[in-house]
């Protein structure tokens, strides 16, 4: 039974996506319960998979009974199981959160929205469980195409933003496909485990080097690393609130997972050790991303756009952690820590941003005056997330920076420490401005004597506050070492490092 869990976790949302589409014709009321029910089941399944992976090692399911390398394999290792739990929970929370805003914005097309939403979730969960590089491409496109359509639903310039996202995203996907083509041409295999075994004797060949560059560039576009981030701020800004939450937290992390899987399972750490200068270059790009993203964020007046640029900076943190892997004993620990932390923090922030738009139609940071008293719960959650992002001690962001700086010092790349601190300073500049306006600056006119509390509906508030509290709860969880087995298992699976937090 447990060996079939990976198949169920994509079959369920996939069939439900069609179910939601048809339910939209006949039982309009059944659509939303179906979506939440299915996503809830996915969370349970992901929990079951996580449990099974830690009891019996990685789950491998051969589709159609064809063993690899001939058949397509679903392969969930500890990293995949960890990400499955994260992504399915975020999808569920974002679905609960999105309900009120979707119903007001898209009156008669709600069923289509949820159908696409489930397809996006299917694509993301599929990326996390597949063990085949071509299958990964297809699922990446399933997720991306639903993502383009969902971004296009938004207001303002959403259509053009979505179009640009599509054009640039397709370039990224095509680069990845070319990379796979080269790998297939030299090895004749598409299975990740098999490729990892066949590639070492071929590390010196041009085809493998070119494949590496194409795959790296393709994913750099998908994760919006600094010079290739142009699509991302528009897409995050104009997407409907619920979709901003999902693509900024879960979708971005899924692409990062795919990059990590390709780098460490297909190319392995030995390849990276051979081409260290290239990896150091990646580290410098990440540092540039951290600083440039923060500088652009300072210039923004639109809150969602500022968060989008902040995501560019934070992807820089994760990529820097990945680039340091061959030089430290911590392996992927700092990267994993920040993938979880940033997903939770950014989801909470985008939920707060969406709540401000839903209740008061305010997206300009300058207009946020008085929100601290009008929307106390949402503002408090946002405050917690901002403190966690800046890195106040027991919070999630503090743990990230702690492990990242330790890794940098271990790798003896001291300029990077300066980059981390500088980008943190810039973060304080642009996030503290928001806190100041929400809580301190008085409302212009008229000065209300008794401010009415006008909170968003409970279904929007609860996920937001829950994630806000989680940003501080995760810090102690990491420090207490509750998630250490996950990190250790991931590092062992990829043959990295030794220590874990």
Partner 1 sequence: MEALWEQILTKANYWMTIALMMVGLYAMITKRNLVKKIIGMNILQTAVILMFISIGAKRGATIPILKHGDAAAAHAPRAVDYINPLPHVLMLTAIVVAVSTLGVALALAVKIYQQNGTLDEADILARQVPRSHEGGP
Question: Quick check: 274 binds partner 1 (CB under 8 A)?
Answer: no
Question: Quick check: 159 binds partner 1 (CB under 8 A)?
Answer: yes
From the list 112, 178, 269, 406, which residue makes contact with partner 1 (rule: CB under 8 A)? 178
Q: Is 258 exposed, middle or buried (0-12, 13-18, 19+ CB in 10 A)?
A: buried
- Name the segment binding partner 1 (CB under 8 A); options: 100-108, 143-151, 321-329, 470-478: 143-151
- Name the segment binding partner 1 (CB under 8 A); options: 123-131, 146-154, 252-260, 281-289: 146-154
The rounded distance, in Å, linking the Cα atoms of 464 and 380 is 10
Cβ atoms 334, 411 nearer than 8 A? no
Question: Quick check: 338 binds partner 1 (CB under 8 A)?
Answer: no
Closest contact distance (angstroms) between CB of 366 and partner 1 is 9
Residues 122-141 that bind partner 1 (CB under 8 A): 134, 137-138, 141
Residues 187-246 that bind partner 1 (CB under 8 A): 190, 230, 233
Residue 500, preceding peptide bond in cis (omega within 30° of 0): no
Question: Quick check: 431 binds partner 1 (CB under 8 A)?
Answer: no
Closest contact distance (angstroms) between CB of 198 and partner 1 is 15
61: which strand partners? 74
From the list 22, 44, 103, 160, which residue makes contact with partner 1 (rule: CB under 8 A)? 160
Question: Quick check: 2 binds partner 1 (CB under 8 A)?
Answer: no
From the list 56, 109, 155, 299, which residue makes contact with partner 1 (rule: CB under 8 A)? 299
Q: Is 415 exposed, middle or buried (0-12, 13-18, 19+ CB in 10 A)?
A: exposed
User: Considering beta carbons, is residue 178 or 473 the nearer one to partner 1?
Assistant: 178
From the list 78, 187, 241, 300, which residue makes contact with partner 1 (rule: CB under 8 A)? 300
Buried residues in 462-501 as b, exposed as e (16+ CB within 10 A): ebbbbbbebbbbbbeebeeeebeebbbbbbebbebbeebb
User: Considering beta carbons, is residue 171 or 288 the nearer one to partner 1?
Assistant: 171
Closest contact distance (angstroms) between CB of 138 and partner 1 is 6
Question: Quick check: 24 binds partner 1 (CB under 8 A)?
Answer: no
DSSP annotation of 30: G
Neighbours of 418 (CB within 10 A): 12
Question: Quick check: 157 binds partner 1 (CB under 8 A)?
Answer: yes
Closest contact distance (angstroms) between CB of 2 and partner 1 is 29
Question: Quick check: 171 binds partner 1 (CB under 8 A)?
Answer: yes
Closest contact distance (angstroms) between CB of 386 and partner 1 is 20
Question: Quick check: 7 binds partner 1 (CB under 8 A)?
Answer: no
User: Considering beta carbons, is residue 44 or 160 the nearer one to partner 1?
Assistant: 160
Residues 62-121 that bind partner 1 (CB under 8 A): none
- Report in angstroms the alpha-carbon separations of 26 from 19, 23, 103, 108, 497: 11, 5, 18, 13, 55
- Report in angstroms the alpha-carbon separations of 352 from 79, 307, 371, 423: 29, 11, 11, 23
Nearest 10 degrees: Cα torsion 421, 427, 432, 433: 130
User: Considering beta carbons, is residue 167 or 409 the nearer one to partner 1?
Assistant: 167
From the list 56, 109, 155, 301, which residue makes contact with partner 1 (rule: CB under 8 A)? 301
Cβ atoms 314, 346 nearer than 8 A? yes
- Report in angstroms the alpha-carbon separations of 395 from 252, 277, 344, 455: 22, 34, 12, 26
Give the residue from 157, 372, 122 showing the smallest Cα distance to 250: 122
Closest contact distance (angstroms) between CB of 170 and partner 1 is 5
Q: Which residues contact 272 (CB under 8 A, 6 or more apart)?
A: 263, 279, 325, 326
User: Considering beta carbons, is residue 178 or 329 the nearer one to partner 1?
Assistant: 178
Cβ atoms 151, 247 nearer than 8 A? yes
- Separation of CA 55 from chain center: 26
- Name the segment binding partner 1 (CB under 8 A); options: 55-63, 105-113, 145-153, 406-414: 145-153
Question: Quick check: 163 binds partner 1 (CB under 8 A)?
Answer: yes
Q: Identify the three-state secondary structure at position 187.
A: helix
User: Considering beta carbons, is residue 365 or 483 the nearer one to partner 1?
Assistant: 365
Interface residues with partner 1 (CB under 8 A) are: 134, 137-138, 141, 145, 148-149, 152, 157, 159-160, 162-163, 166-167, 170-171, 174, 177-178, 181, 184-185, 190, 230, 233, 296, 299-302, 305, 309, 363-364
């Amino acid at each position: 039974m447990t060996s079939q869990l990976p198949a169920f976790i994509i079959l369920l949302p996939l069939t439900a996506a069609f179910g939601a589409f048809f339910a939209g014709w006949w039982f309009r009321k059944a659509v939303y319960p179906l979506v939440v029910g299915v996503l809830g089941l996915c969370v349970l399944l992901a929990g079951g998979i996580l449990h099974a992976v830690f009891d019996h090692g990685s789950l491998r399911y051969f589709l159609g009974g064809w063993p690899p390398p001939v058949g397509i394999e679903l392969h969930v290792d500890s990293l995949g199981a960890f990400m499955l739990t994260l992504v399915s929970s975020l999808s569920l929370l974002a679905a609960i959160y999105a309900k009120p805003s979707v119903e007001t914005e898209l009156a008669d097309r709600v069923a289509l929205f949820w159908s696409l939403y489930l397809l996006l979730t299917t694509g993301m969960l599929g990326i996390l469980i597949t063990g085949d590089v071509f299958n990964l491409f297809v699922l990446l496109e399933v997720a991306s195409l639903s993502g383009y359509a969902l971004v296009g639903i938004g207001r303002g310039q959403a259509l053009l933003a979505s179009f640009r996202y599509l054009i640039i995203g397709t370039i990224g996907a095509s680069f990845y496909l070319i990379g796979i083509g080269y790998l297939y041409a030299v090895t004749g295999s598409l299975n990740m485990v098999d490729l990892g075994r066949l590639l070492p004797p071929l590390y010196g060949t041009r085809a493998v080097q070119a494949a590496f560059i194409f795959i790296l560039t393709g994913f750099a576009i998908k994760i919006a690393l600094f010079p290739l981030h142009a699509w991302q701020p528009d897409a995050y800004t104009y997407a409907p609130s619920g979709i901003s939450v999902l693509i900024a937290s879960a979708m971005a992390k899924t692409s990062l997972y795919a990059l990590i899987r390709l780098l460490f399972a297909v190319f392995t750490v030995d390849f990276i050790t051979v081409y260290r200068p290239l990896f150091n270059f990646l580290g410098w790009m990440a540092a540039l991303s951290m600083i440039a993203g923060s500088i652009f964020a300072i210039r923004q007046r639109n809150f969602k756009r500022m968060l989008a640029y902040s995501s560019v900076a934070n992807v820089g943190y994760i990529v820097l952690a990945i680039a340091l892997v061959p030089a430290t004993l911590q392996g992927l620990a700092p990267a994993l820590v920040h993938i979880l932390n940033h997903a939770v923090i950014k989801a909470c922030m985008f939920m707060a941003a969406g709540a401000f738009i839903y209740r008061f139609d305010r997206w300009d940071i300058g207009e946020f005056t008085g929100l601290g008293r009008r929307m106390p719960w949402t503002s408090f959650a946002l405050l917690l997330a901002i403190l966690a992002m800046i890195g106040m001690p027991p919070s999630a962001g503090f743990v990230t920076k702690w492990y990242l700086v330790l890794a940098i010092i271990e790798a003896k790349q001291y300029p990077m420490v300066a980059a981390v601190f500088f980008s943190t300073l810039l973060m304080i500049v642009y996030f503290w401005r928001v806190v100041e306006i929400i809580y301190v600056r008085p409302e212009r006119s008229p000065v209300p004597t008794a401010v009415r509390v006008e909170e968003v509906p409970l279904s929007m508030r609860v996920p937001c506050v829950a994630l806000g509290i989680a940003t501080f709860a995760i810090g102690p969880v990491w420090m207490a070492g509750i998630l250490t087995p996950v990190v250790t298992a991931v590092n062992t699976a990829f043959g990295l490092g030794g220590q874990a937090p």
